[in-house]
């Protein structure tokens, strides 16, 4: 069992998202994240899907997606170099001055932006990998009493050169 990544080109039509996500619930596939947006062609959407599964199930997932009429192309990103990022906003609330210092230190260490600031709160905007975002949330949770988090799910695209530093997941088993 491990995380696997799929890029999915689908028709940009009503009900396609429901059909794709329905497949995962209907067949008990373990969906980690799913993001969707339009592409350079306005009638085509692209999804980035992360699932946790064994090899056999993953093969089946790809086949099941492939046979949907609305699915144009399935690309397995699991073992290819990719760039992958997830947007995340984290609001640290009820801060003391000392808390704010820690928040800024964390922001600096994780290389994320402080995009808003108030009397007793700080807003961080993070564009990290999903894994790094998980670590950041964990750190914020232990460091502060009151945080509010919203995350967008990962988007991924194949790398142009294999040596670039964008890849994250595929080297680790």
Partner 1 sequence: MDITGRKLIVKALMEEGVETVFAYPGGMVTDILDELYKTDTIDLVLPRHEQGLIHEAEGYAKSTGGIGVCIVTSGPGATNIITGLADAHYDSIPLVCITGQVPLGLIGNDAFQEVDIVGMTRSITKYGVTVRDRKELGRTLKMAFHIAKTGRPGPVLIDIPKDIQTSSGPSEYPKSVSIRGYKPNENVHIGQLKKGYKLLKSAKRPLFLIGGGIPIAHAEALMLDLMERTQVPVVTTIMGKGSVPTDHRLYIGNSGMHGKYAANIAVSQCDVLFSIGTRFNDRITGDLNEFAPRAKIVHVDVDTASISRNVVVDVPIVADAKLAIEKLLEWAEPQNTDKWLAQICEWDKENPLEMRRDRGMTPQMIMEQINECFDSGIILTDVGQHQMWATQYIELNQNKKFITSGGLGTMGFGFPAAIGAKIANPDKQVICISGDGGMQMNIQEMATSIVQHAPVIVCVLNNYYLGMVRQMQQLWYGKRYEATCLRRQKQCPRDCKGPGEKCPPYTPDFVKLAESYGAKGIRVFKEEEIAPAFEAAKQHNVTTIIEFMIATEDLVLPMVKGGNPMSEMILSK
Q: How far is the CB of 31 from partner 1 (least distance, A)?
A: 15
Query: Can you name the residues that pair with 150 across neighbouring β-strands?
Result: 89
Relative to beta strand 71-76, strand 82-93 is unpaired
Q: Does 31 interact with partner 1 (rule: CB under 8 A)?
A: no
Write out the binding residues for partner 1, residues 44-103 only, by CB under 8 A.
56, 59-60, 63-64, 66-72
Q: Which is nearer to partner 1, 69 or 150 (CB)?
A: 69
Write out the binding residues for partner 1, residues 110-169 only, by CB under 8 A.
none
Of 1, 2, 26, 111, the one binding partner 1 (CB under 8 A) is 26
Site size toward partner 1, by CB under 8 A: 22
Q: Please return the burial class of 45, using the count of CB atoms within 10 Å of its CB with bins 0-12, 13-18 and 19+.
A: buried
Positions in the binding site for partner 1 (CB under 8 A): 10-11, 13-15, 18-19, 22-23, 26, 56, 59-60, 63-64, 66-72
């Amino acid at each position: 069992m491990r995380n696997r990544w799929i890029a999915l080109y689908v028709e940009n039509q009503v009900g396609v998202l429901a059909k794709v996500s329905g497949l995962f619930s209907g067949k008990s596939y373990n969906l980690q994240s799913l993001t969707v947006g339009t592409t350079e062609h306005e009638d085509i959407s692209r999804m980035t899907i992360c699932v946790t599964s064994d090899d056999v199930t993953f093969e089946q997932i790809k086949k099941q997606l492939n046979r949907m009429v609305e699915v144009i192309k399935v690309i397995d990103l699991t073992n290819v170099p990719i760039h992958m990022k997830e947007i995340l906003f984290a609001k640290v609330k009820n801060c003391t001055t000392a808390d704010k210092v820690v928040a800024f230190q964390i922001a600096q260490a994780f290389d994320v932006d402080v995009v808003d600031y108030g009397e007793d709160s700080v807003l961080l905007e993070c564009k990290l990998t999903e894994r790094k975002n998980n670590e950041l949330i964990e750190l914020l949770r232990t460091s502060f009493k009151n945080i509010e988090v919203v995350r967008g799910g990962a988007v991924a695209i194949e790398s142009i050169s294999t040596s670039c530093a964008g890849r994250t997941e595929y080297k680790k088993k």
